[in-house]
Structure 1
Amino acid sequence: MSRITQLKAQKNRKWVNIFLDGTYFTSLELITVAKQGLKVGMDISQSEFNQLLRKHDAEKLLFRAMNFLSLRPRSEKEVTSYLQKKWTPKLSKEDYRTRVRGVVEKLKKENLLNDSEFANWWVEQRLTFRPKGKIALHKELQQKGIGNDIISEVLASLDEVEAAKRVVEKKSRIFKGQSSMQARRKLIAFLQRRGFSWDTIRQIVDESL
C-alpha cells in the first residue's frame, strides 16, 4: 500500500504530477484526478493505481478517437490506423493494440463507427463534389478497409451513366474547338481516369460526340 504525498499541477494546469511515498510516480489529467477523488494522504495499492492508469489511458484513447471522428465520418481502418500511430514505448505494442481494439469495438457498439454508413457517405460525397465511376470508388473504399460485401451493396444502386454525364457536362469546355477524333480520345481517357467502366464510357462517348 502506498500513500499519495503530493499532487503538483504542471505549468499548463491540465495535468497533475502524482507522488507516492515522496517519490514521483506518474502524471494524470486534472479531470481524472478530480473524478477519482485523489487527495494527498490517500492510501492506494499498486493494483488499484494500475487499474486507474488503465482506465485513464482508455479514456484518453477514446477521446482521441472521438476528436478524429468529429472532423468527418471515418472507416474502422482509418480510426485504427490513426490510433496506432499514437503508440508510445510506455506500453508494449501488443498491449496498445489490444486497447485500440477495445476503443474501436466500443465505437462500433455505440454506432459511432459503421463501415456501411461510411461507405454510403463516401460515395455520396464523391457523386456530389467529384463524380467517379464504380472502378475508382471500389478501389477507394478498399483502401479505406471496407469489405467487398459492403462495397458491392453500396455500388449496386449507383447510376454510373448519370454520374458520367455530370462529369462530361462540367468538362465540356475542354473538348471545344477540337476534331471529333481528338475530342473522342480525350473524353475516353478522361473517363477512364475517373474510373468509369468501358460500357459506360462507350455509351457516353456515343451520346456526347
Structure 2
Amino acid sequence: MPEIAKISVQKKDKHRYNIFLKENGQDVYAFSVAEDLLIEHHLRKGLTISDELIEQLKEKDSFYKVYTLSLRYLSYRMRSEKEIIDYLHQKEVDIETIKAVVQRLKQEKWLDDLAFAESFVRTRLQMAVKGPLLIRKELADKGVSNESIEQALIQYPFEDQMEKIDKWLNKQNQMSSKKSYKQQLENLKQRLMQKGFTQDAIQEALQQHSFEKDPNEEYQAVVYQGEKLIQKYKRKAAGSQLRQKVTAALYRKGFSFDVIEPFLDEYLDESANEHDINW
C-alpha cells in the first residue's frame, strides 16, 4: 500500500492540505483534503493507506467542498432550499451530491424554509413598501411552499398594511392639476396594487386619507385635458359631433358632466369662433 510521504498546507486555504505519496523514491502529489477529514482519519506522514481509502477520502472531500461552498453562500443571508439548489446547479454540482448536501444542511438547521419565509417577511416589513401579495409572490418564486408562506404572513396583519399605505400616501406629492380627481385616485390605487397591497386595505386607507376635491383645480385639469382633445378631434369632427367626442373622452378620464359642460360651453365656442375667423 502507498505511504504518505508529506502533508502540506495549501497557500490559498489554510484549512486544506495536500497529500503526497511515496512513489519510486519520490514525493508525488496524490490528492487534497479538508482539515476535518485530515483529523477524522488521522492522516500523517508515514501512514500507509489503501487505494480504497484514497477513493473514499476523495469522495468525502468532494462532498465537503460543496458543503463548504453552500455554507459560504448561506453566510451572506438566509436562503430558501430552492435558492441553494439553483446555486449548486449553476456550479455544475451533480444531482446526488446536491441532494446529500441539502439534506445535511436541513438536518443542521442551516436550511429551513419556514424560518427563511418568516425572516423574509420581517425584513420586507422593516425595509420596503410592499404589501403581502407581492411578498407572497416573491416567496413563491424562491420555492417556498404555500403552507410556509401562509404561516409567515401571519406577521403581516391588516393593520400593518393600513399603516404602510398611510405612510406612503403621506409622502406622495400634492394632487396634480393635470388629471381629474377620480383618475388621480385610480392611479394611486393602481400603484398600491402593484406594490402588493390588498384591495380591501387600499380602499379603506384611501377613504380614511384626507384627499379633498378642489373645484378650481378640477376645472384647471379639465381645461388642460380638454384643449388637447379639441385639437385632436376638430380635424375630423365639428359641431355636435365634436362636442360628443370630447365629452366622451373627458368622461373616460374621470371628469363629471358638471365640470365637462361648463368647459365645453366656453372653449368649444371659442374654438368655433377661431375657426370662423380663420375661414
* TM-score range normalised by the length of the shorter chain: 0.7 to 0.9
1:191 Cα offset (Å): 0.3
SS at match of 2:3: strand
Structure exhibiting the larger radius of gyration computed from Cα positions: 2
Asked if 1:25 corresponds to 2:25, the answer is no
Deviation, 1:119, is 0.9
Determine helix, strand or coil for the equivalent of 2:74: helix
Which residue does the alignment assign to 2:174? 176
> Is the alpha carbon distance of 1:12 and 1:201 closer, same or farther for their aligned partners in structure 2, counting shifts above 3 Å?
closer
Q: Which runs of 4+ in 1 moved over 6 A?
A: none
Q: Does the Cα contact within 8 Å between 1:134 and 1:155 map onto a contact in 2?
A: yes
Amino acid at match of 1:19: F
* Larger RCO, structures 1/2 (Cα 8 Å, 6+ apart): 1
Partner of 1:190: 191
1:112 maps to a residue whose letter is W
Secondary structure in 2 aligned to 1:44?
A: coil
Which residue of 2 is the match for residue 90 of structure 1?
A: none
Which residue of the other structure, out of 42, 65, 73, is the alignment partner of 1:68?
73
Deviations 1:7-43 (A, max 9, x none): 3554447344333343432233456445533233321
The change in CA–CA distance for 1:127 and 1:61 in structure 2 (over 3 A counts) is same
Provide the rounded CA distance (Å) in 2 between the counterparts of 1:165 and 1:201: 11
The percent of aligned pairs where both chains have the same amino acid is 30
Q: Which runs of 5+ in 2 are unaligned?
A: 212-279
Q: Find the aligned partners of 2:162 and 2:55 in 1 and give their Cα distance.
A: 58
Q: CA deviation at 1:129?
A: 1.3
Map of 1:201 onto structure 2? 202
Structure 1 residue 169, shift from structure 2 partner: 1.3
Q: Aligned partner of 1:54: which letter?
A: E
- Which of the numbers 115, 118, 128 marks the counterpart of 1:117? 115
Following superposition, the deviation at residue 137 of structure 1 comes to 1.3
Partners of 1:75 and 1:145 within 8 A in 2: yes
Rounded Cα–Cα distance in structure 1 between residues aligned with 2:155 and 2:37: 48
Residue type of the partner of 1:163? Answer: Q
Q: Distance in 2 between matches of 1:102 and 1:52?
A: 16
Tell me the distance in 2 between the aligned counterparts of 1:9 and 1:167. Answer: 57
Q: Comparing 2-11 with 185-194, which one deviates more in the overlay?
A: 2-11
Q: Which residue of 2 aligns with 1:85?
A: 90
Does the C-alpha gap of structure 1 residues 120 and 16 become closer, same or farther in structure 2, counting only changes over 3 Å?
closer
TM-score, normalisation: structure 2:
0.62
Q: Does the Cα contact within 8 Å between 1:18 and 1:26 map onto a contact in 2?
A: yes
Question: Structure 1 residue 120: deviation in Å?
Answer: 1.1
Q: Which residue of 2 aligns with 1:135?
A: 133
Larger mean Cα displacement after TM superposition, 132-141 or 171-180: 171-180
Partner of 1:150: 148
Deviation at 1:150, TM superposition (A): 1.6
Partner of 1:7: 7
Supply the distance in 2 between the matched residues of 1:67 and 1:13 (Cα, whole angstroms).
14
RMSD over aligned Cα atoms: 2.6
What whole-Å deviation, never above 9, does each CA across 1:175-199 have from its counterpart, x for those lacking one?
A: 3143533541331122011012223
What secondary structure, in the 3-state scheme, does the structure 1 residue paired with 2:144 have? coil
**Cα distance change, pair 39–110 in 1 and its aligned pair in 2 (3 A):** closer
The answer to whether the 8 A contact 2:161-2:197 is kept is no
